[in-house]
Structure 1
Amino acid sequence: MRTSGSCEQQGGCPVNEPAAPHAPGRVGDVRRRNLSLVLDSIARTGDSKPSRAQLAAGTGLTKAAVSSLVADLVESGLVAEVGLYRDGERGRPGQGLELSSRRGVVGMEINVDYLSVGLVDLAGNLRFSASIESRNRGLAPDAVMARLAGLAAEARAAAGADGISIMGGGLAVPGLVDEQRGVVLSAPNLHWQHERLDPQSLLDGAPLGVRLSNEANSAALGELWYGGGRPDFLYVSGEVGVGGGVVVGSELYTGPGGNAGELGHMVVHPDGPPCSCGGAGCLETFAGQEAIFQAAGIAEGSFKERTELLLRALDAGTPAASMAVDDAGRYLGVALASAARLMDVQAIVLGGHFAVLGQWLMPALAGSLERHAPGLLDPKNLTVSRLEHSGTLLGAAGQVIRSVIESPLEFLLAAKLA
């Protein structure tokens, strides 16, 4: 699945029409590409709010063409005009352009012990978020989806109150997925195997529907687009399980079968304990959230309560808590050393509970990496995500936002049909 990049590099973006051969360069194709070019240029400028004249200079299109394209984008609600300023000494003042704050996407996450949603506008601002603790392990998917639907309704209500029109949504789960069929192929920590979901029911009527994705991959994309991520890095997601997302050349690499990045099931101890995947000695049995709680002697309470107890114990220097986190860091280092050698990884970003535990985890992790792969990774390229747990929501929503930026005409058609 392609998740980022230029539509021009791919010969134009797809629309809902038959894939029949046609002559290149027809008017519809040119306009489709140019709409994407202009919208992408506005998105890339961030806070600078370019004028039509600046867009024309930057894209190489004529001012008349840019004005026509911008008019369509403004009318569709994807772009907003802001302010007045002069580009130079002469001429009329120009209006700045930015991605509209009145269009949004709902990011949603199912995890083992919680559910969460976030409303993200086109510029990537998290406008609303909510989460609830939910013991989802072993629950039927329909029951979990019913709970999540309640949170999705809260996001829709928040959008309505702020005058934001929802374009679509993204749903991330901690397992391998078949996005096209809406099937969770394997989510060991949820005890789900080949379970069909109905993501579209969460946001009924949204023009672009709801996309299903892997939690770690979504978090990696959230880091890439909204966390100041580099163009090449390995993202490590820490939850009950441990996941990974590989980004190469600002593209998510998922492998031929879509399963690349399953860091949590790398074997770090051949004689280690059994894992939920059916194997033994996997990284998540030492560095997963539940493994750390158990090793620290924190067995009771909700996820939030146990996290607070762990952090207090670490602040106090409690030996069991310190040893649990040190062991997690050491085994994580073993896995990352192997991954870095295998994939020539130059940078690693830690998210989820690894980000929360960063100050206590990092010394053992850095020492383990240096022991098992001396000199391979520059310490300054081992960082903690600033997004923490919001990265998954931002990435799940961001995939839909990027699809609109890459093919605004597809959104326009979908919105008319909705």
Structure 2
Amino acid sequence: MASTAPATAPSDAGSPGNMADVRRNNLALVLARVAQSPSGFHLTRAQLAAATGLTKASVSSIVLELLEAGILREVGLSRQGERGRPGVGLELNPSRGVMGMEINVDYIAAGVTSLSGELVVKEIRERDNRDSPGEAVMSALVLLASEVREAAAAKGVDVLGGGLAVPGLVEAGSSTVTVAPNLGWVDTRLDVARLLPGVPLGVSLFNEANAAALAELARGPQRRDFLFVSGEVGVGGGLVLNSELFTGPEGNAGEVGHIVVDPGGITCSCGGTGCLETVAGQDAIFSAAGISVKGRSRSESMADLLGALAAGSPAALTAVQRAGTALGVAVASASRVVNVRAVVLGGHFAVLDQWLHGPLLESLAKYAPGALSPEHVITSTVGEAGALLGAAGSVVRALVEAPHRLQA
């Protein structure tokens, strides 16, 4: 798991009143160093002491706590980077994991990753969730999460907690979806604890585009600043600045899908007029291309669209080109406001990139010349599982920052 900021060593010393805080900070510091290690490189206690500035005795005591909590495991003798007598290497325990879950307009999904971010098991179920009550959708997801949890257990992975991503605005620190226009939800409270009963880390709620942006950051930590734009039935966005997700004072920054690109356009599901979503969302593209969605799954409709594009259908090509142009207008506006120099495209924007990329770049050059280099407009590296992986990764990051939550 990649860390987004370098760890700094707190002091071993402290007054009696703050010794517990110092201990917790040191636990997090040591665990972060192990989590940051490249794949296949197993730090020893001596190396951790040198890297953190803590005493060898403190590191040994902290490692023992993390081993007893099941977060770390020993992996035998290691000579990596050491002289003389080899030490015992350490790694994140592969028999512990977290679950990422997603509710979207036309599907639900659940998957378990190891603490190091490797996907162990994943299931996606097509389901029409539009205007479906939150309780009904959650009941379906509870069943799916149970099946995935059992499948992970069969592979020797115990789930410690989870994250749920939804295509809407969420209330920070609660389990409430304040508004999800494409689901028809307003101030909908979700009983997320039902999803993973008995897990020590609980279940947290995330905006799906923000979660996917975090997954991109974890896979490409060299990109410190970028705008992630995800195309689904709606259009979502996640803004990463200085390797941190920026969500604004109320947690709702990055709503690229509701940037106005056509003031004289049609009404959006959000209540506004001419939003990017009304031109570049899946429903808008399918409609303009003459692709039927009634009584069919989104994957079937997308397959038809791809076939029409490959065959050179004028309606399909015009629909996608128009979406690319509108996307360029929105990205140009966003780049001027937040000064990002890279854009990552996910969802159907990545799937349609072959036909959408040119109009997008032409639009950017027209409306924000010089703001974004073409080589910095790229497609997602995490694919359709981005929101799921990001939600799971956020739970791991929270654990690394506060490992005392799992102490025996």
* TM-score normalised per structure 2: 0.94
Task: Give deviations 1:154-203, integer Å, cap 9, x for gaps.
Answer: 11101210121111110111111114331110001001111111001110
CA distance in 1, matches of 2:327, 2:282: 13
1:12-411 to 2 correspondences below 5 Å: 26-47=18-39, 48-87=41-80, 90-228=83-221, 230-300=223-293, 301-411=296-406
How has the CA–CA distance of structure 1 residues 371 and 72 changed in structure 2, closer, same or farther, with 3 Å as cutoff?
same
Q: CA deviation at 1:258?
A: 1.2
AA partner of residue 161 (structure 1): A
Task: Give deviations 1:196-231, integer Å, cap 9, x for gaps.
Answer: 110011101111111011111111111111344611
The question of whether the paired residues in 2 share the 8 Å contact of 1:184 and 1:195 is answered with yes
CA distance in 2, matches of 1:318, 1:144: 37
How has the CA–CA distance of structure 1 residues 84 and 305 changed in structure 2, closer, same or farther, with 3 Å as cutoff?
same
Please give the secondary structure, in 1, of the residue aligned with 2:305: helix
Q: CA deviation at 1:88?
A: 6.5
User: Which has the higher mean CA deviation after the structures are superposed, 197-206 or 59-68?
Assistant: 59-68
The question of whether the paired residues in 1 share the 8 Å contact of 2:291 and 2:305 is answered with yes
CA distance in 2, matches of 1:280, 1:4: 37
Aligned CA-pair RMSD: 2.1
Aligned residues: 401
CA distance in 2, matches of 1:100, 1:64: 22
Task: Give deviations 1:305-361, integer Å, cap 9, x for gaps.
Answer: 111111222222222221111111100000000100011111111111111112221
The question of whether the paired residues in 2 share the 8 Å contact of 1:241 and 1:284 is answered with yes
CA distance in 1, matches of 2:128, 2:15: 55
User: Which has the higher mean CA deviation after the structures are superposed, 318-327 or 202-211?
Assistant: 318-327
The question of whether the paired residues in 2 share the 8 Å contact of 1:240 and 1:289 is answered with yes
CA distance in 2, matches of 1:359, 1:136: 29
AA partner of residue 367 (structure 1): E
CA distance in 2, matches of 1:228, 1:323: 36
How has the CA–CA distance of structure 1 residues 166 and 141 changed in structure 2, closer, same or farther, with 3 Å as cutoff?
same
How has the CA–CA distance of structure 1 residues 366 and 88 changed in structure 2, closer, same or farther, with 3 Å as cutoff?
closer
In structure 2, the gaps of 5 or more residues are: none
Please give the secondary structure, in 1, of the residue aligned with 2:307: helix
In structure 1, the gaps of 5 or more residues are: 13-21
How has the CA–CA distance of structure 1 residues 282 and 59 changed in structure 2, closer, same or farther, with 3 Å as cutoff?
same
The question of whether the paired residues in 2 share the 8 Å contact of 1:4 and 1:402 is answered with no
Q: CA deviation at 1:142?
A: 0.7
Task: Give deviations 1:239-283, integer Å, cap 9, x for gaps.
Answer: 110111111111111111111111101110001111101111000
AA partner of residue 150 (structure 1): L
The question of whether the paired residues in 1 share the 8 Å contact of 2:172 and 2:250 is answered with no
